[in-house]
Every structure is written in C-alpha cells, then in structure tokens.
Structure 1
C-alpha cells in the first residue's frame, strides 16, 4: 500500500467520513454546499435532520455557568507526525498515541488536529478568523473535540514551526497529488496544551459529513492570534471549493452551552 493511499484511508477513518462504499463529494458552496449535505448521501442525513449539530454561536443568553465542570485535563507528548492535505482542510496526523483528554473519568485519545478558516464557532454572532480542532476519540468510538479560536494579530507560535512545511505541502498539492502529505518528524504536541482559564462545553456533532452527533465539544475561552500570512499558508494547499471551509452555525434546538471558569 502506498503512503498516499494509507493517509487517505487514515484521514477518513479518524473523521468517520468513510461510511459508505461510494465516496460522496461535499463542498462549502453551490450544489454540494452545507445546506445540501444531508441530501448527498443517506449516510449524511444527520447533517440536515440532526438535532444536536455543530458548530454553534456561543451567545451569552444561551450560556450557563456550571460549577460541576472541572479544568480540562490533557496529557500530550511528542510523536512522529505528518502534515496532511485532507482535501477539505489541512491537518496533522499522528502514527502513534500522543496523549489524551480526560472527561468525567473517560480517556479520549488525541487522533488528529486540523484547521478551518474562517472559524466555525462564533462568539455572540462574531466570526473569528480561524479555528483549530483537536479531535479525540475513546475506545468506544465516541468523539471529543477541543476547539481553539483565532483572531488576526501576531503569528501563532505553533503554526510558525510549520510554515516551511506548509509551503512544501502547497507545492505537492498543486502538482496534483491526492492526499498530499509532508513528514514532520517528531512533533511536540505539548505546545497545544496551553492553559485557558475558561472553556465552553456542549454536546454537538462533527462539522463535516456525516455530521455524526454525540460529540463532546470544549471551546477554549482564550482567543489566540494568527497572522494574515499564516491564514494564507493554511489555505494555499486547498482547492477553491475548500479555501473557506467553515460550516454555518447550527440551531441549538434547546441545548444549553455550559461554561467553566477558573475564577468561579
């Protein structure tokens, strides 16, 4: 099996996208845009019929302070990784266990991370400039995602370490290599464990088809900064259909968003 095919399969498995024998293309505008996802395949029906979909707008009137929530407990370490053009976003995949997120006594293992630009989640109606998703999965197959929002400003130090590799990935992608990927060698995931004194917790879904529900979301309250050049680098390897790869916010349908604050 070639490495390209391997990473295509790995990408699909981790995001739970390969749910049917026939691959279905989806996009972010036009005939395959987000409002059409639910009709593209029977396995995508949750995208239109689900009642706990993501992303959402983190509006003050829908947020409740929850004293039962605990600080995010994350344990990451270094591991070999690859920078991957998933087709619909740019991500980092790991070839071994790199640590976990612990929620209510359960361990969710970090599987991969990827970026969206602009952001998918909003804050009081405001869209941010980018969003990082750290995707975790437990042994039963349930997902937990940590979201990090970015606004334009100084360069993000983690992405700064990837800038030359992102340029390489764009060149490989422009050459027509499906599932283009660049070896990163040892990637220190501990840099992703920067503390945030607040986070927002709700139950939602994956934000790409098949829009699988029962995903535990934790959106960090601290907004990070990202430079304009870094956003360009994250978009460059993608085709025009996916350069703006943010799903619109979804109805809460009665859900509440719970807030943790270290200040109590």
Structure 2
C-alpha cells in the first residue's frame, strides 16, 4: 500500500488543511458537512476507520505500550490555527510503536475530549502527533481532567498568540513528560485524522488514565476554542485493544 507523506501543516488531527478552505465544528461548516465542502474530503463521510471513537469493550490483547522517548525539556512554537492551539516542535524525540520509530512533530488540544470512554467526554484531550519515515502517523491521546495544576501548561499558555492572526509565540521550557500519566495502560486502534481530509492513516494510542489540570488552565483553552471536537464515529469492523495487564 502506498504511503503518503503528510506535511507538518497537516500532520495532525486538528491541524490546518492543505487548502485554504475554511471548516469548523458547528453549523454549515461543521463535521456533518465536511464531505460536502471538498471532494477530497469524501472519506469523512464514507470512511470505515474514522476517528474519534467511543473507547469501550476493549479487548486485552497483551500489547506493549509505545516506547516513549521524548526530550526532557524542549522549546515549541505556539500557534493558534483557528481550530486549536498547536505547539510545533523539532528534535523533541519520539516513540517506537510495534517496532516502527516515529518522531514527534507537534501536539495540540481539544475541548471537550474527542474520544469518549464509555460514552463520557473528558474536559480536554491532548494529541501528540508523530510521523514515521514512511509517512505513517501515530498519535498519542491524553485525557485531561480537572484537578491539580499541569505545570508545563503555564509556559504554553503564556506563549499563546492573541488569536489566529497573531504571530506565533515561543514556549522555551516545555516538559513533555508532564503530560504522561503514571499508569501507561492504553487503548489502541486504527483510525484517521479527526479533521479534514479525515485520512485513514493513524495508529491511535489513548491512555486509559488521565492527567489533571486546574479548571482555570482548562478554561483558558476552552474559552478560546469551545466545542472543538468531532463527534465519535462508528467503530464498524474494528476492534479496540488495550495494552497492559
């Protein structure tokens, strides 16, 4: 099967599309109409491996968790692309999944969470987008619940541009591992980008355990990009697997 190299601007479940065509999360530009807006986005409606999904009835397949080797501290370019706040990184490490190495390109946020667990949304979800040399994507999803502060969010929010028209900011000290829960059990499944063009090229890993952020930290993002999530999609003939014991 031919693999497609996805440029950085598109290598995300919520990055800007290659076209300048505008899309959104509600009304006539919302998810129910994406396939009508561009013929290249038809898979958003007819695809059989679309994301996000409800993570339930997972099968324990004895899978190993991804081997995560992120930089202990990194700088990031913080942009608002009109759909989310996204942090682009370079030389920030990556993951190894099923023997394939993927490098971390960027991470971004959704409120509420895109995936649900047994039908429930978390207040926020972070997606870490990785790409292999062959062009495949591996995305790690981390649910964020209200609770104690997520320290490294402070440097990201401080660098956040005023809006999608403002120049990017630089967050100099991002501690990526702060986003990882202590329990690394995770859901695994094959899916897609969660925004146009909805390409079905993503290996998804979503941790079963959340991390926490204060209500104020979550509200900082949610007030800018409320309801920035695609509704869950049919599982069809796929299985949701779970790693760990």
Q: TM-score by structure 2 length?
A: 0.89
Change (3 A) 1:193 1:129: closer
Distance in structure 2 (CA, Å) of the matches to 1:11 and 1:100:
15
* TM-aligned CA deviation for residue 19 of structure 1: 4.0
Q: How many residues align?
A: 236
Task: State the Cα deviation string for residues 203-262 of structure 1 (Å, max 9, x = none).
Answer: 0001111111021000001112222211221134x4xxx42201000000111100012x
Change (3 A) 1:225 1:190: closer
Q: Which blocks of at least 5 consecutive residues in structure 1 are unaligned?
A: 1-9
Contact 1:145 1:215 in 2 (8 A): yes
Change (3 A) 1:128 1:186: closer
2:211 to 206, 211, 224: 224
Matching of residues 173-192 of structure 1 within 5 Å: 173=163, 178=165, 180-192=167-179
Q: Secondary structure at the match of 1:83?
A: strand
* TM-aligned CA deviation for residue 131 of structure 1: 0.2
1:65 and 2:48 aligned: no
Rg larger in structure:
1
The aligned counterpart of 2:85 is 90
Change (3 A) 1:192 1:221: same
Contact 2:184 2:209 in 1 (8 A): yes
Q: TM-score by structure 1 length?
A: 0.83
* TM-aligned CA deviation for residue 197 of structure 1: 3.3
Contact 1:43 1:210 in 2 (8 A): yes
The aligned counterpart of 1:7 is none
Contact 1:198 1:259 in 2 (8 A): yes
The aligned counterpart of 1:43 is 40
Distance in structure 1 (CA, Å) of the matches to 2:236 and 2:135:
25
Distance in structure 2 (CA, Å) of the matches to 1:104 and 1:93:
25
The aligned counterpart of 1:144 is 138
Alignment RMSD (CA, Å):
1.9
* TM-aligned CA deviation for residue 190 of structure 1: 3.8
Contact 1:53 1:211 in 2 (8 A): yes
Q: Which blocks of at least 5 consecutive residues in structure 2 are unaligned?
A: 1-6
* TM-aligned CA deviation for residue 179 of structure 1: 5.5
Distance in structure 2 (CA, Å) of the matches to 1:52 and 1:19:
21
The aligned counterpart of 2:101 is 107
Distance in structure 1 (CA, Å) of the matches to 2:83 and 2:8:
11
More helix by share: 1
Task: State the Cα deviation string for residues 6-46 of structure 1 (Å, max 9, x = none).
Answer: xxxx76243375444xx211111100111111111011111
* TM-aligned CA deviation for residue 178 of structure 1: 1.9
Distance in structure 2 (CA, Å) of the matches to 1:179 and 1:48:
33
Contact 2:150 2:212 in 1 (8 A): yes
Q: Secondary structure at the match of 1:213?
A: coil
The aligned counterpart of 1:6 is none
The aligned counterpart of 1:258 is 241
Q: Secondary structure at the match of 2:141?
A: strand
Change (3 A) 1:11 1:107: closer
